[in-house]
Structure 1
Amino acid sequence: MEIRILPSNNSQQEFRPEIGVKTNDLFSRFSSFLDEDELDSLLSETNHILSHCTNPKLLIEQDVTHLTVGYVQSGKTMSFTSLTALAADNGYRIIIYLAGTKNNLLNQTTKRLTKDLISDSSLNNAYKVFENPTESKIQEMRNKLRLSSKPTLLITILKHYDHINRLANIFRSLIIKNELGKQGVLIIDDEADQASLNGFAYINGKNANTSSEWDEETDNKESSTYASIINLKAAIPNHSYVQYTATPQGPLLISIIDLLSPKSHTVLTPGKKYTGGKTYFKDFPDLVINIPEEEVYHYRANPLSDVPNSLKESLQVYILSVALVTNYWNKVKFLSMMIHADRQKDVSRLFHGWVSELIEKWTTILNLEIGDLGRIDLDREFKEVYEREAIKFYSSQDDVPSFDEIKPLIADAINDTQINLIISDVDATNTIDWESSSSHILVGADMLNRGFTVENLAITYMPRYTKSKSNADTIQQRCRFFGYKQKYLKSCRVYLPSSSIVEYVDYLEHEEEMRTWLKNNNSLENIERQLMLAEKLNVTRKNILPYNIVQTKMKGWHSMNALNSIESNMNVVSSFLDNNPFELFEPQYNTIDRNHKIATVPVENAIDFLTKFKFGNFADTARKQATIRYLQYLSSESALKISNVHFIQMAYESNSRLRNFDPNTLKIDQLFTGRSTAGSEVYPGDREIKCEDSICIQLHKVELRSNQINRLNRKVIYTIAVYYPEDFATRYTSIEPEDFNFEDED
C-alpha cells in the first residue's frame, strides 16, 4: 500500500514528519478494516500531532505539550499506535506511555502495542517493549539502544508517582544520559485528564490570593503524580508531551502557566462505524431506557432490598440479544453486558448476587419439563420482552425470527453466560477470555470506568447517579457503551435514571460545541479557553482548576463596561445604527430617557458587531467571546435554532444618560434605569426592555461621572448590556489569564 504524507499546516514548526517503513507496515494492516477515507484521516491527524512535537534530531533542550482530543471508546489507542510508528520513522528512539492508573489499563496498553507493532508486524527488531522498568533494566535499555537495527524503545508505565519517579531516575542515570544525549523522547499520556493534573491547583491559588503569609516556595503544593510527571519531564532535556483524552475540560482549563498546559491541539475523527453519544441520545433515543425512580438504587437514599424489575428486564433483553445476534444471526462470536450500580463495593456485590441468582434460577427452570408451569411462565415473560424490545430495532436486512424459533437458543445463551465481579485491581487485571463463551456479564463500578474496554458491549444497566451536580468529564468516562457496534447496534440498550439521561443529553451538546470550537481554532495560545455547559453539570473536578476561574451564567441580563477604546466603539455603533433599520420599541413612555428603538438583525451581523466592539477588562472580553460562540452555536447546532438577534437603542433621542462609575475598577455603578411611577406612564425599568425569542443587546450611550479626578470623568461612551432568555440559558467556564493585555484587544 502506498501512503503519502500530507504537508503540515503548522507554519511555526520546522519539523516535517516523513512516512517510513514502520508507518507503512502498520497502515497496511489497518487497511484490512479501515477504508481509504479513514486511513487518510488517521494519517493526516497523526501527522498533525507529530508536526507539533519537537524534532528529535535537533539536539537542543526543548519541550512542547500537545493535546489530542477524541471521543470515548473511539480509537485513541489506534491513534497513539500510529503516532508511535510515525515517531519511530522520524528518529524517536524512546517513547513513554503513561498508561492509566490501574494495572489492568497498563497491561491492556502493553498487550495492544505489542500486538499491533510487533506480533502482527513483518518487521524484525523495530521495537523493544519495557513495562514498568526499574533501575535494574538500565544496562538492558542501553544495549537495546546500541543495536544496529536502531529499535525504538516503548516504555509503558503505570501512572503512579513511584513508577514515574523511578523512570525519571533511569533517565538521570549516566548510562542512559550518555547514550541518549539530547535526542528527543516522546511522552504519551493516555487519559491525560486523570491523575496527571495538579490536585492542589485550586487551594494553591486560593491561598495565594487570600493569605498574607502565603509562601510560594513552601505552600505551593503539588499532588504526587503531577509532581512525578514534572520530575520526569525535567529529567529529559528534549521531549514532547502528548496528552490523549476524550474529556479535555481539565487540560483546557488548568492555568496557562502550568507546566502541563497544552499549547496546541488535534481533534481526532472517529471511524465511520463509531457509535457515540449522538447515536444513543439523538439518532436512536429509544435505545436508552429510563429506570423508574423507585428502582434507582442508592446506598443511602434508596437501598433496595429486592431485585428491581428494570434490572430483571435488562437481563432478559440481554439474553435475547445473545440468542438473536450471536446464536441466530451469527453476527459476532459473543456479547457482553455491564452493570454499574454504585462505587460502593458492597453494592456491586449485591447486584452480582442478584444477577447470579436470576441466571441460576432461569437455568433451573429451563431444565424442567416443557409443560411445567414454571417454565411456561418464564417462556411467557421472555416472549413479552421479545415482542416489546428485542425486535424493535432490527436492521432492514435481518430476517426476524418468531419467538418459537429462538426459544431453544435462549437456554443456550443462559447456559453459556459467565458472570464477572470486577471491584478490585486484581479483578480488573485478570484477563477475560472473551471468546470462551457467547455471553459475559461484568458487574462493577470504578474499575469499569475510563480506559477499560468491555468487548462487544450490548446492554448497559447503570443506575448510578450523584445527588449533587455531576462533573461533565466524569459522567462521560462511564460511557463504556460507546464504541464500534454497528453490527449489533439495534440490539443495544442503555438503562439509566431520568436525571442521568438529561445530563448526557446536556453533555452531548456541550461536547459537540467544544469540539467544533477546537476544530475552528488552530492554536490554544491565541484564544480564551472557554467551555459552554448546561447548568446541571460542573465542567470538571474543582481541585485541578486554578483559583482565578471565571464561571458565570449566560442567563438573564449582564451589563458590561466598555470604558476603553471609546472612539473606536463610537464609530462601530454609529456605523451599525446607520446600516440597520431601527423602529420604535413599543410601548413608548413619552420621555426622551425612556423611549427606545429596536432592530432585528441577522446573527452574522450581530457577530460582526460584537467582534468589532472592544472591552478593556477580561471578564467582559471573555463574555463577548463566549456570546459570539454561543450565537454561532444557537444559529447552527442547537435545537433552539435562531437566525436573528435584537438590538435595542436605549434612549435614542437623548444625547446621553448620566452614570456613576468607579475609577479604580473601571465599572459603571448601575447601567440600567430602574422602575419608575413618575409621569403619565409607569416605566418598568430598562431590564424589561427586551424580547424573549432571541438574544437581546441593548446599546447604551452614557456620560461617565465620578467624584474623583479621572481622565474618564464626563466622557461620553457607548457600552452594551446582553440579555439571554431563559429558554436559551447555559453556563460557560473560562480561565482568566494572569497577564491579559487589556489595551490591545483585537
Structure 2
Amino acid sequence: MTEEQSKVFQRVVSVAQTFLVEAMEKGAVTTTLIAEKVDFVATHMAPGENVDRKEVVAELIRRFSLWIGGASTLSDKTGHKDWLTAARRKDWRYWQRYRDFLEGKMSVKAVDALDDATNKILELLEDPLREGCWDRRGLVVGHVQSGKTGNYTGLICKAADAGYKIVIVLAGLHNNLRSQTQIRLEEGFLGYETSAKNDVVRYIGVGENGRDAEIRPNCATNRSDNGDFNTKVAKHLAISPEQRPWLFVVKKNKTVLDRLLKWIRNHVADSKDADGRPLVSGFPLLLIDDEADHASVDTGDQVVNKDGTVDDEYQPKAINSRIRKILHSFSRKAYVGYTATPFA
C-alpha cells in the first residue's frame, strides 16, 4: 500500500467509524451495518479511489469487537478536595483534539477506556486552580506495551486543559529514549515538530487538524538526540503565569536535573519557603515519571529512629534526590509515576 493509498484508507476508516459511533446510540453495530457505511463513504467521499473495502470492513470489525476491562484504583484522599465535575470538563481543547487524533487510529471503545482511566487519575490529583500549598502523588501500573505513553499523554492534555502550567516528563536514562518520548508528545500534545533551529513550524499529529495558535503549548526541549534541557535554553528561557502550558521532556540524569532545578529556582520561583529556599507558587506542576521504578527509586539504606522519625542527615540517591528537590520547589504539585514493573 502506497502512502497515498494509506491516507485514503485511513480517511475512509475514520469517516465510516464516525457514522458507526452515531449508529451505536440506536442499536448494535453489525457486520452488515459496517459494510453499508463503508460502501457509502467509499462511494461518496472517495470516488474513483482504489479503496480495498474488505480491508476497511475488517479493520472496523476489529475496532468494534474489542472488550477492555476497567481501571481499578487505590487512593488516599486525605487533604484532597473533589473538583473534577462535568462543568470543569466542558470545552476541553487539548483533550478533544487528542481524542480526535486517536479515533483515527484506535477503536472507539479503546479511546473511551482511555478517557475514563485518565479522568480517574486526574480527579485524584489536585485542582490546579486551588490556592495554597498541596502535594499529590500516585503510581499508574500497566502491563508491558499496554499504552502507558498514550495514557500519560492523555493525562497531560487534560491537566493542561484544567490549568496545570508546567509539565515535566522524566523520560528514561538515554538520549534516544528521551527523543522517542518527545516525538510521541509532539504528536499527542504539542501538535508540532520541535527542532533546535526554531525554523518554520511543521504541524503533526493533533496539530494537523487543530492548528489553534491560542492553545499551542510551549516546549523547552526538542526531538533531536541532544535536545534535552541545556544551558543555552536555561539562559534565555522565561515564562509568565498567563502563558500557555510549558512542556519539558528530560532524561533522568543528574546534570540535566540539576540544570533544570537551578533554572526553576533562579527564573521561575516567585517566593520563599519556610526555610528561605526559592519556591514557585504561581505555576502548578505536573511531573510524570516514566518507568518510575528505573533510577527514580531511592535504593539507599535509610535509617529510621526508634521514635519512627527518619535521620535528617540521610542523603537520598542522586536521581531521587533531584526529583524531590524539584517537587519541593513548587507549592502546588502533582507527581504521577508510570511503570509495568512496580518496585517492591
| TM-score over 0.5 (shorter chain) | yes
Q: Is the Cα–Cα contact under 8 Å of residues 99 and 190 in structure 1 kept in the other structure?
A: yes
Q: Is the Cα–Cα contact under 8 Å of residues 168 and 248 in structure 2 kept in the other structure?
A: yes
Alignment of 1:606-685 (within 5 A): none
Q: Is the Cα–Cα contact under 8 Å of residues 59 and 184 in structure 1 kept in the other structure?
A: no
Kindly state the Cα deviation for residue 139 of structure 1 after the two structures are TM-superposed. Answer: 6.6
Q: Is the Cα–Cα contact under 8 Å of residues 281 and 332 in structure 2 kept in the other structure?
A: no
Matched with 1:408 is none
Kindly state the Cα deviation for residue 136 of structure 1 after the two structures are TM-superposed. Answer: 4.2
1:79–1:128 CA distance, 2 compared to 1 (3 A): same
Output one character per residue of 1:377-410: Cα deviation in whole Å (capped at 9) or x when no partner: xxxxxxxxxxxxxxxxxxxxxxxxxxxxxxxxxx
Matched with 2:83 is 15
Matched with 2:233 is 137
Select the residue among 153, 170, 189 that pairs with 1:98. Answer: 170
Kindly state the Cα deviation for residue 137 of structure 1 after the two structures are TM-superposed. Answer: 3.0
Equivalent AA in structure 2 for residue 106 of structure 1? R
Matched with 2:155 is 83
Matched with 2:336 is 242
1:46–1:141 CA distance, 2 compared to 1 (3 A): farther
Kindly state the Cα deviation for residue 106 of structure 1 after the two structures are TM-superposed. Answer: 0.6
1:111–1:153 CA distance, 2 compared to 1 (3 A): same
1:178–1:25 CA distance, 2 compared to 1 (3 A): same
Is the partner of 1:64 in helix, strand or coil? strand
Is the partner of 2:117 in helix, strand or coil? helix
Is the partner of 1:222 in helix, strand or coil? coil
Kindly state the Cα deviation for residue 204 of structure 1 after the two structures are TM-superposed. Answer: 2.7
Select the residue among 123, 132, 135 that pairs with 1:63. Answer: 135
Matched with 1:29 is 101
1:222–1:57 CA distance, 2 compared to 1 (3 A): same
Matched with 1:160 is 253
Q: Is the Cα–Cα contact under 8 Å of residues 57 and 183 in structure 1 kept in the other structure?
A: no
Q: Is the Cα–Cα contact under 8 Å of residues 165 and 231 in structure 1 kept in the other structure?
A: no
Kindly state the Cα deviation for residue 217 of structure 1 after the two structures are TM-superposed. Answer: 3.4
Matched with 1:230 is 324
1:59 and 1:142 map into 2 onto residues whose CA distance is: 23
Output one character per residue of 1:84-128: Cα deviation in whole Å (capped at 9) or x when no partner: 111111111110000111111111111111122212222334212
Asked if residue 111 in structure 1 is aligned to residue 183 in structure 2, the reply is yes
1:146 and 1:89 map into 2 onto residues whose CA distance is: 15
Q: Is the Cα–Cα contact under 8 Å of residues 234 and 263 in structure 2 kept in the other structure?
A: yes
Q: Is the Cα–Cα contact under 8 Å of residues 138 and 176 in structure 1 kept in the other structure?
A: no
Matched with 1:50 is 122
Matched with 2:218 is 128
2:235 and 2:175 map into 1 onto residues whose CA distance is: 25
Q: TM-score, normalised by structure 1?
A: 0.29
2:333 and 2:238 map into 1 onto residues whose CA distance is: 18
Gaps of 5+ in 1: 3-8, 210-214, 254-746
Alignment of 1:395-544 (within 5 A): none
2:325 and 2:270 map into 1 onto residues whose CA distance is: 19
Asked if residue 151 in structure 1 is aligned to residue 247 in structure 2, the reply is no
Matched with 1:196 is 296
Kindly state the Cα deviation for residue 208 of structure 1 after the two structures are TM-superposed. Answer: 6.1
Aligned residue pairs total: 231
Is the partner of 1:192 in helix, strand or coil? coil
1:230 and 1:171 map into 2 onto residues whose CA distance is: 13
Equivalent AA in structure 2 for residue 152 of structure 1? P
Kindly state the Cα deviation for residue 79 of structure 1 after the two structures are TM-superposed. Answer: 0.5
Kindly state the Cα deviation for residue 195 of structure 1 after the two structures are TM-superposed. Answer: 0.6
Q: Is the Cα–Cα contact under 8 Å of residues 270 and 282 in structure 2 kept in the other structure?
A: no
Equivalent AA in structure 2 for residue 195 of structure 1? A
1:139–1:160 CA distance, 2 compared to 1 (3 A): closer
Kindly state the Cα deviation for residue 46 of structure 1 after the two structures are TM-superposed. Answer: 0.5
Output one character per residue of 1:324-359: Cα deviation in whole Å (capped at 9) or x when no partner: xxxxxxxxxxxxxxxxxxxxxxxxxxxxxxxxxxxx
Matched with 1:176 is 268
Matched with 2:144 is 72
Asked if residue 216 in structure 1 is aligned to residue 304 in structure 2, the reply is no
2:83 and 2:283 map into 1 onto residues whose CA distance is: 14
1:236 and 1:85 map into 2 onto residues whose CA distance is: 21
2:288 and 2:182 map into 1 onto residues whose CA distance is: 13
Kindly state the Cα deviation for residue 171 of structure 1 after the two structures are TM-superposed. Answer: 1.4
Equivalent AA in structure 1 for residue 249 of structure 2? T
Equivalent AA in structure 2 for residue 133 of structure 1? F
Matched with 1:619 is none
Output one character per residue of 1:242-286: Cα deviation in whole Å (capped at 9) or x when no partner: 0000112x1xx4xxxxxxxxxxxxxxxxxxxxxxxxxxxxxxxxx
Q: Is the Cα–Cα contact under 8 Å of residues 126 and 136 in structure 2 kept in the other structure?
A: yes
Q: TM-score, normalised by structure 2?
A: 0.61
2:111 and 2:124 map into 1 onto residues whose CA distance is: 20
Q: Is the Cα–Cα contact under 8 Å of residues 128 and 332 in structure 2 kept in the other structure?
A: yes
1:115–1:178 CA distance, 2 compared to 1 (3 A): same
Gaps of 5+ in 2: 1-17, 22-72, 192-203, 222-227, 272-279
Q: Is the Cα–Cα contact under 8 Å of residues 171 and 236 in structure 1 kept in the other structure?
A: no
What is the root-mean-square deviation in Å for CA atoms of aligned residues? 2.6
Kindly state the Cα deviation for residue 64 of structure 1 after the two structures are TM-superposed. Answer: 1.0
1:129–1:68 CA distance, 2 compared to 1 (3 A): same
Kindly state the Cα deviation for residue 146 of structure 1 after the two structures are TM-superposed. Answer: 6.4
2:174 and 2:235 map into 1 onto residues whose CA distance is: 27
Is the partner of 1:96 in helix, strand or coil? strand
Matched with 1:570 is none
Q: Is the Cα–Cα contact under 8 Å of residues 96 and 186 in structure 1 kept in the other structure?
A: yes
1:93–1:101 CA distance, 2 compared to 1 (3 A): same
Greater strand share, structure number: 1
Is the partner of 1:156 in helix, strand or coil? strand
2:102 and 2:119 map into 1 onto residues whose CA distance is: 16
Equivalent AA in structure 1 for residue 148 of structure 2? K
Equivalent AA in structure 2 for residue 18 of structure 1? R
Equivalent AA in structure 1 for residue 82 of structure 2? E
Q: Is the Cα–Cα contact under 8 Å of residues 58 and 183 in structure 1 kept in the other structure?
A: no
Output one character per residue of 1:656-695: Cα deviation in whole Å (capped at 9) or x when no partner: xxxxxxxxxxxxxxxxxxxxxxxxxxxxxxxxxxxxxxxx
Larger radius of gyration: 1
Output one character per residue of 1:596-650: Cα deviation in whole Å (capped at 9) or x when no partner: xxxxxxxxxxxxxxxxxxxxxxxxxxxxxxxxxxxxxxxxxxxxxxxxxxxxxxx
Output one character per residue of 1:471-528: Cα deviation in whole Å (capped at 9) or x when no partner: xxxxxxxxxxxxxxxxxxxxxxxxxxxxxxxxxxxxxxxxxxxxxxxxxxxxxxxxxx
Equivalent AA in structure 2 for residue 171 of structure 1? I
2:337 and 2:315 map into 1 onto residues whose CA distance is: 22
Matched with 2:200 is none
Output one character per residue of 1:179-209: Cα deviation in whole Å (capped at 9) or x when no partner: 9633311000000011101010xx334x868
